[in-house]
Structure 1
Amino acid sequence: MNIFLRELKANRKALIIWSVCMFLGVLSGMSKYTTYSSGGAASQALTELPHSMRALFGMGSFNVSTMSGFFAFLFSYIVLAAAIHAALLGSSIIAKEERDKTSEFLMVKPVSRTAVITSKLLAALVNIVVINVVTLLSSFFLVAAYNKGKDIFGEIAVFLLTMFIVQLIFLSLGALLSAFMKNPKASGSLATSILLGSYVISKITDLANHLDFLNILSPFKYFSYTDIVNGDGLSLVVVILTLLLIAAFSVSTYFFYRKRDLNV
């Protein structure tokens, strides 16, 4: 069977589960919007929270009583879930051959290692595109259902574009770790640890502005959600640098996978 189609079939069940979870995550978040936008006691209590608490919860300086500010707040959790999926997918799509003892079967096929890794990465790319599209459509539909103010579809599209880039970063990082490590089965744990560490860094810099230089270590801080809400869009320089980072991770994955000794 074609390796690309084989990988799509192998990840089909997980993709469905993750897609449903992303939809439910958006639905659960949006169902709370009426509480924040009502102007009642709950909304006032959130407004009066100290800056440190708002930053810790991901609210920052956003006005969560508006749909634009609320979606920016909700998005910090959506992108975290999508990034976890991408990191685990990137590491497992390579490591599973050694985990399941199918490396020998794969390597005796008349295809090069370059073709193998290309097929696997393309299948992984399709998976994260599906997750992104499901999240985008869910956001469009549910925001339209709850929004009583101005249209924010343009902002949502930009938010999901940043999520796609973050997904690519952690997908390529997970694949690189799996190709590089002598024990690729541990790559998923390491990739997730790095991801969670970078998320913690993003919270630390929200709390302490003098530590903003640490943002270079956290893909979650590569794009300013405040700029998106304010209609300033994305920094072209940052987009280019992140794409170069993804390219570097991907090229390194090919390099190490071609040289590694597979455990069969």
Structure 2
Amino acid sequence: MNIFLHELKAYRKSTMIWSISLILVVVLFMSLFPAFTKDVTEFKKLLEGYPEPVRKALGMDLNTLFSILGFYCYALTFITLCAAIQAMNLGTSIVSKEVREKTADFLLTKPVTRSTIITAKLLAALVSLVITNVIYFAAASFMAFQVKTEDFSFQTFFLLSLTILFIQLMFLAMGIIISVSVPKIKSVLSVSLSTVFAFYFLGVIGSTTDDEAKRYISPFKYFDTSYIMEKSSYEVSFLIVGVVLIILAIAASYRVYSKKDIHAV
């Protein structure tokens, strides 16, 4: 419990910074919605000038873009990118920071098992992400009700917002396995940014085609916002694959960390 509270306290500042950052992004996008819908015809003509693959890559569906939920889906393209970086940062630093700060051997001399250590760290990171999402969702909901031009399904809005947390969990798990596998990570931010942007651009490239299989490559494409808006649910196959990948990555992290050699300072 002491490790959990210590980690949670250590994440306090970054949690607030990322929460505020996500709020600023959603406020910026949603505040543009009233102006965006003032002249729908002109905006449609402008956007139709862009090639369809480009519109797909940017998450622009002209059939729904001018509704509050459709515009929110477009904003999510960028919001999830920022959220994924936060999660990847947390995951990558879970174990690597002990090696980098030369406190790993000190921590392991305490009367706790390695599984207890990584569990406490993982729970602290998870709580940090949940807090961020709760704060973000409150702000996003407030903005949606402020700028809406017609009624919308709050259930669908909630499901769309919840995709942020699901994507974060996948990158958190990915960060953890990297953290316990790589002997020493000099810069967490550089690893996080390169990994997140690599998957983001893979998702962008995959979205320009109609090949469903390519969607499995990038976590950013596991949740089709058009499908969520139409069905008010997630695609079961992608949800199952996402959960399995998270479980496998975390299980592998426990196994690797339990057998990992920790060099003394």
Which TM bucket (shorter chain)?
over 0.9
Matches within 5 A, 1:1-264: 2-39=2-39, 43-50=43-50, 51-185=52-186, 189-209=190-210, 211-263=211-263, 264=265
Which of 223-232 and 119-128 deviates more?
223-232
- Whether the 8 Å contact between 1:174 and 1:187 is mirrored in structure 2 is no
Q: Is the 8 A contact 1:158 1:228 kept in 2?
A: yes
Is contact 2:206–2:214 with CA below 8 Å preserved after alignment? yes
Output one character per residue of 1:93-132: Cα deviation in whole Å (capped at 9) or x when no partner.
2111111111122111110111000000000000111111
Higher mean displacement: 39-48 or 19-28: 39-48
How many residues were matched structurally? 263
* Greater Cα shift, 106-115 or 155-164: 155-164
1:87 touches 1:191 (CA, 8 Å); kept in 2? yes
SS at match of 2:231: coil
Partner-residue secondary structure (3-state), 1:23: helix
Instruction: Give the aligned CA root-mean-square deviation in angstroms.
Output: 1.9
CA deviations on 1:156-201 (whole Å, 9 max, x unpaired) are: 2111222211111100110110101122445653343232111111
Q: CA deviation at 1:245?
A: 0.8
- Amino acid across the alignment from 1:205: G
Deviations 1:136-168 (A, max 9, x none): 111111000000212232112111222211111
Please tell me whether the aligned partners of residues 84 and 195 of structure 1 are also in contact (alpha carbons under 8 angstroms). Answer: yes
SS in structure 1 at match of 2:64: coil
Contact 1:136 1:156 in 2 (8 A): no
Relative to the length of structure 1, the TM-score reads 0.92
Specify whether residues 255 and 61 from structure 1 end up closer, same or farther in structure 2 by C-alpha distance, changes over 3 A only. farther
CA 1:12–1:187 in structure 2 vs 1: closer, same or farther (change >3 Å)?
closer
Counterpart of 1:106 in 2: which secondary structure?
A: helix
Could you tell me which amino acid in structure 2 is paired with residue 102 of structure 1? T
After TM superposition, the score normalised by the length of structure 2 is 0.92
Indicate conservation of the 8 Å contact 1:62/1:72, yes or no: no
Return structure 1 stretches of 4+ with deviation > 4 angstroms: none
Q: What does the per-residue CA deviation read over 1:22-56, in whole Å, with 9 as the maximum and x for residues that have no partner?
A: 11111011111112211267624444233233224
One-letter identity of the residue aligned with 1:108: T
